[in-house]
Amino acid sequence: MSIIVCNMLYVKDVSNSANFWKSIGFIEISRSGKAEQETVVLSPFEEATARFQLWNVDFIRQVSPEVAEAKSSLLFMVDDLESWHEKVSKVAVTISEINEVPFKNFNFQDFNGDYYAFAEEKAKKF
């Protein structure tokens, strides 16, 4: 048995948002629908168990208005924080320096005005 967690993000422009995420290294898993109903699933790599799906916020306002204005706060836990900071700094509207408190992290804003963060995740041995 396996499970993939997929967080839904409601954006103004699905194609531009997908291009933003792909420009920093995420891959497109699937794309379906057209115009306002277009949706794209992205992932840091093919086998990842956590993904996110982009939806046009105007379409969501029509079919599910109770969640259309919900904003997700995504934190990506990575083991190579500096390389992600370098990639994101090339395309983000704004980006913070790498902070040490409360843990090693940085945050950034995309062209939709939404904020996201990356944090360093030390490899754990079980």
Nearest to 17 by CA among 118, 116, 98: 116
pLDDT in tens, 98-119: 999 889 999 999 988 889 999 9
Nearest to 18 by CA among 2, 41, 34: 41
Instruction: List the end-to-end C-alpha distance of the chain, in Å, as a whole number.
Output: 21
Report residue 125's pLDDT band, with 50, 70 and 90 as the boundaries: very low
Of 32, 50, 71, the one marking the end of a domain is 71
Residue 115 belongs to domain with CATH number: 3.10.180.10
Of 47, 71, 95, the one marking the end of a domain is 71
pTM above 0.95, yes or no: no
Distance (Å, rounded) from C-alpha 111 to C-alpha 118?
17
Res 123 pLDDT > 80: no
Nearest to 116 by CA among 35, 27, 44, 36: 44
Of 50, 71, 92, the one marking the end of a domain is 71
Co-location of 124 and 95 in the same domain: yes
Co-location of 89 and 116 in the same domain: yes
Number of domains in the chain: 2
Co-location of 22 and 45 in the same domain: yes
Co-location of 63 and 92 in the same domain: no
Distance (Å, rounded) from C-alpha 33 to C-alpha 70?
22
Co-location of 15 and 26 in the same domain: yes
CB 24 within 8 A of CB 82: no
Co-location of 60 and 79 in the same domain: no
pLDDT in tens, 31-45: 999 888 999 999 999
Co-location of 97 and 77 in the same domain: yes
Co-location of 12 and 46 in the same domain: yes
Q: Give me the domain span that covers residue 101.
A: 73-126
